[in-house]
Amino acid sequence: MFNHKNRSRKMKKIFQWEEYLNWNNMSKEQKLNFKRACLFPFLVYMVYVFLNQHSLAILLLLGIYFLIRFKNRNKLGR
């Protein structure tokens, strides 16, 4: 179940707040991951605002799409 033979494998750090405080010593990949982690809540908020404003229109369009699709499927069977 566990691979005890390969102990020299580098583990990926998930929680590395101590390293984020030392910005100059971070690698480019760590900096990019930190920027993504900081910008993710803004992306979620923008998607939330968009869906909150346009959810009724999206549901209406989906309903019309499935209604037309259902009606066309019944016409092909006849």
* Position 7 confidence tier, pLDDT thresholds 50, 70, 90: low
Q: Give the pLDDT score at 1.
A: 55
Q: What is the pTM of this model?
A: 0.55
Mean of pLDDT values over 36-53: 95
* CB-CB contact of 31 with 39 (8 Å): no
- SS3 category, 49: helix
Q: Residue 29: CA atoms inside 13 Å, Cβ hemisphere, count?
A: 3
Whether pLDDT at 43 is above 90: yes
